[in-house]
Amino acid sequence: MKATPEMRTVKFSAYDRLVLTPIELVGTIKPSLMIFGVLFLLNLMGLGPFGLVDFYGYMGAVIIGCVLTPVLLPLIPGRAFAWKGWLLGFVWAVLVNVLNGWPDDPQYSLLRAIGYLLVFPAVSAYLALNFTGSSTYTSLSGVLKEMRIAIPVIIISIVIGCLLILINRFI
């Protein structure tokens, strides 16, 4: 009838975090299909330069936010889950830009590169933020505080990034 110190310790290993990632991935399928539908319609109307780079860049941001961030959670600096997702998403966005020839390729403009630097980390941050409630070391008040700060920043970042990518089409 007494609790041992081991009973009071909560373990949340990399495997425990990895088990939760399929739920997050399945939850992103419907919104992702809607996003790709809108991008397809914009391409049909001639308003969008959206193609393979946008597809794999977005899908990479989804994988980073849903899988990589939860698995590497203790290794990423910072406390906020959104920050951790943003940090890995930023590294991904820089990698996407460099792999596609920026800054060496003059056709790959600065506006598009900045757009990716705003959109992909924000997507990863949002998806990592979804994981906040699934962890064993967060409180309700901490989750609410993080959401109050992160959600407006994520929305602003995605809107500005998308506008820069669209503006790039007309320049």
pLDDT of 105 reads: 73
E strand segments, 7-150: none
Within-domain flag for 71: yes
pLDDT tens digits along 91-105: 999 999 998 887 777
Domain count of the fold of the chain = 1
pLDDT exceeds 70 at position 134:
no
Question: Domain limits at 141?
Answer: 14-170
Model pTM? 0.84
Buried b (16+ CB within 10 A) or exposed e, 45-77: eeebbbeebbeebbebbbbbbbbbbbeebeeee
Within-domain flag for 161: yes
pLDDT of 60 reads: 93
pLDDT exceeds 70 at position 131:
yes
Within-domain flag for 6: no
Within-domain flag for 77: yes
pLDDT tens digits along 70-87: 888 888 898 888 999 999
Within-domain flag for 4: no
Within-domain flag for 133: yes
Within-domain flag for 30: yes
Within-domain flag for 8: no
Single-letter code of the amino acid located at 20: L
Please, what is the average pLDDT of the chain? Answer: 85
pLDDT exceeds 80 at position 25:
yes
- The rounded distance, in Å, linking the Cα atoms of 154 and 145 is 14
